[in-house]
Structure 1
Amino acid sequence: MQPTWLLALSWAALAAGFVSFAIVVADTYLRGHRQPVRVMEIVWLVTVLYIGPAAVRLYWNWGRPEASARRRRNAERRPRRGVMVTYVSRCGAHCALGFVVAEVALYALKDDSAQGTLWFDYAGDYLAAVAIAVLFRYVGEPGRSVAQIWHAITTVIKVELVTITAFELALFAWLTLAHHVVFPEPSLRPDSPVFWFAGQIGLIAGFIAAWPAASWQLDRRAGRAA
């Protein structure tokens, strides 16, 4: 049994994420600030869910759609910081969704989430994150064809894979530390709020660690376009 203070802290962190989620849902769907690219609505909702109130501020500054004609005309002159926040948030959403989907699925399929199987969980998390990135690219393009699936795969490999990998490595490093050192007993399992609290911390670490990789990828793309 986890100590009471840790359970309380875990529930508080998760609650902060859900409140932040509700704020962005209300702003997006009740106040009508819809994203021009619909998958970005999912990206921002996922981002505030694991980062919490700090991500609401990021959403407020950079995530709102270009609602006015003037702002749409100025989209090309968007500050680099805004581009970076949006880009890292998108890659982070892939990783966060991959983490949730894979961990829940693997937990349901096996009897025990023992520490010895962490590598198997990490493989599932990573593959799920890449698959979700491909799915987001695919549904974000008009039409549905086999050729577009291949285009989505190649786009993710060229544009997002390095950033996703950096994010995942930081997440896995923290989860390993959490399982073996920070919260060794009882073992962290998806049926405990402490597991998801540890996941929040790991995802935030991934967001920070992915920033340099994202900067490098954006500079590389800009160099190719020049």
Structure 2
Amino acid sequence: MQPTWLSTLAWVSLAVGVVSFVIVLVDTYVYGHRQPARVMEIVWLVTVLYVGPVAVRLYWNWGRPESLAPPPQRDRPHRGTIVTQVSRCGAHCALGFVVAEVALYGFDLPRSALWIDYVGDYLMAVTIAVLFRLFEGPRRSLAQVWRALATVVKVELVTITAFEVALFAWLTLAHHMVFPEPHLRLDNPTFWFAGQIGLIAGFITAWPAASWQLGRGTSVTAR
């Protein structure tokens, strides 16, 4: 059984994420600050859910202005482009983490087989990235699926991989050293708190990767 203070901290952290989520949700759909690219509305909502108030500030600085007066991509400040790149790739990884962990939980896999979780998380993150690209386009076809996959590989895969490596490193550390007994389960808030920490670590780690990709002339807007 986890100590009371840890469970309390987990609940508080999750609650802060939910409050941050509601703030951006209301600003987007009640006050009408819709994003030019609709998938970015999902991206910002997912980002604030695990990063919390810091991500709300990032949204206020770089996300909300896009809804007020969408500038040409070339006029966006370099830092704003990096924030968008990291947030987008982070949303893929966060959604991939949640979907894969919930799906694999039903198979009751041994907790020693962490690599199965990691493969599932990574593949799901890439799949979600492709789906985001696909639904941004005007048409849905097999050719568009391959084009979306090619764009993800060219534009986002390095950043996604950097994010996932940090996430997996933290989850391994948490499993073997931080929370060795009892092992965390999905029905325990501490599991999702640990996931938040890993996702934040991934967000920070992905920043240099995104900056490097932008330096090579690739960004989230590539088609």
Q: Which moved more, 1:183-192 or 1:130-139?
A: 183-192
Letter of the 1:55 counterpart: A
Q: Does residue 129 of structure 2 align to residue 133 of structure 1?
A: yes
- 8 Å CA contact 1:35–1:65 kept in 2: the answer is no
Equivalent positions of 1:194-213 (< 5 A) are 194-213=190-209
Q: Does residue 46 of structure 2 align to residue 46 of structure 1?
A: yes
CA RMSD of aligned residues (A): 1.4
- 8 Å CA contact 2:36–2:70 kept in 1: the answer is no
Structure 1: 4+ residue segments shifted above 2 A: 65-68, 71-76
Letter of the 1:64 counterpart: R
Q: Does residue 152 of structure 2 align to residue 156 of structure 1?
A: yes
TM-superposition CA deviations, 1:43-97 (whole Å, max 9, x none): 00000000011100000000115344xx434653211111100110000000000
- The runs of 5 or more residues in structure 1 that have no matched partner are none
TM-superposition CA deviations, 1:179-200 (whole Å, max 9, x none): 1001111101111100000000
TM-score (norm 1): 0.93
- 8 Å CA contact 1:66–1:75 kept in 2: the answer is no
Q: Does residue 122 of structure 2 align to residue 122 of structure 1?
A: no
Residues of 2 paired with 1:51 and 1:24: CA distance?
13
Q: 3-state SS of the aligned residue for 2:66?
A: coil
Letter of the 2:77 counterpart: P
Equivalent positions of 1:176-195 (< 5 A) are 176-195=172-191
Identity %: 73
- 8 Å CA contact 1:34–1:65 kept in 2: the answer is no
- 8 Å CA contact 1:36–1:65 kept in 2: the answer is no
TM-score (norm 2): 0.95
Residues of 2 paired with 1:24 and 1:145: CA distance?
33
CA apart distance, 1:117 = 1.2
Letter of the 1:183 counterpart: F
What is the number of residues matched between the two proteins? 219
- 8 Å CA contact 1:20–1:52 kept in 2: the answer is yes
**Which residue of structure 2 lines up, in the alignment, with residue 98 of structure 1?**
96
Q: Does residue 10 of structure 2 align to residue 5 of structure 1?
A: no
Letter of the 2:150 counterpart: T
